Amino acid sequence: MRNIAFYFFAAAVLCVTCGMFWGIHMAISGDHTMAPAHAHLNLVGWTTMGLFGLYYTVTPAAAETTLAKAHFGFAVLGVLCIVPGIALAVWGSGEALAAIGSILTVISMLIFLVTVFRNGIGRRTA
Please give the Cα distance from 92 to 33 (Å, whole number): 12
Mask: binding to ligand HEM, 16-55, rule CB under 6 A, as x and -?
A: x--xx--xx-xx----x--x--xx--xx--xx--------
Minimum CB separation of residue 80 from ligand HEM in Å reads 18
Crossing angle of helices 4-29 and 66-91, rounded to 10°: 10
Q: Are 59 and 85 in contact (CB under 8 A)?
A: no
19 or 68: CB nearest ligand HEM: 19
Please give the Cα distance from 119 to 51 (Å, whole number): 16
Minimum CB separation of residue 39 from ligand HEM in Å reads 3
Q: Which residues bind ligand HEM (CB under 6 A)?
A: 16, 19-20, 23-24, 26-27, 32, 35, 38-39, 42-43, 46-47
